[in-house]
Amino acid sequence: MRRREFIALIGDVVVRPKMAHAQQAGKRPRIGYLGVSSSSLEPHYVGAFRQKLRELGHVDGENLAIEYRWAEGQDDRLPGLAVELVGLHPDIIVTMGTPGALAAMQATKTIPIVMASSADPVAAGLVASLARPRENVTGFTILGPELEAKRLELLKQTVPNVARIGILRNPSNPAVVSRSPKSHRGIRGSAAVALHVPVPRVRGRGRTNIVCAQQH
């Protein structure tokens, strides 16, 4: 399932009951949207989210207010932006990925937080368990660590001659850092390839056939 579909599902599965509750209380529902990149890079995600809300009868500017905050790709801005959103007293905060969800969770323990996706929300400390999320955080997980070795197997079948793979990762993302050693061991054992995970600020040497990016 694509991440755009995750965003649409949020409007259908989780946001709808919160909006109905706010309307019953006699006020215009308000959503805080905490974006990790920028509106120019995520128009399809925002469009899918707004479209699903419209299908449910919620139109921004009419019977619903959506407050956007964008980190412009700088994770260190997320905590401050989350505090700004909390100060607006939204009924719910929607975000994507582990860094945004962690920032929102640090900013509030009472406002419901919905994350579009997280590679491993348990390891990142977002939820106590998949069966029983704690406090005010819920959402979707893509279970990345368990799937990475399988993805490499499929890649090897698709491109049999690949011999060296480079992985780009965001060292400031707790989800990527916490799962990397375990998932990399699984990848190395799944196919006869050389795996290169560059250390931040160190330029790798040699020729790399394929580069994979990790960001959840």
Q: Which of 88, 120, 141 is the endpoint of a domain?
A: 141
Residues 172, 97 share a domain: no
Range of the domain at 122: 3-141
Retrieve residue 78's tokens: 């997320």
Per the model's pLDDT, the better-predicted residue between 165 and 199 turns out to be 165
d(CA 36, CA 146): 25
> In terms of domains, do 158 and 198 share one?
yes
The answer to whether residues 51 and 110 belong to one domain is yes
What percentage of the chain has pLDDT greater than the value 70?
Answer: 63
Q: What is the pLDDT at residue 112?
A: 94
Beta-strand runs (E) in 2-132: 30-35, 65-70, 92-95, 113-118
How does pLDDT run across 112-161, given as a tens digit for each residue?
Answer: 999 988 878 888 888 888 887 777 998 888 766 667 777 777 887 888 88
pTM: 0.67
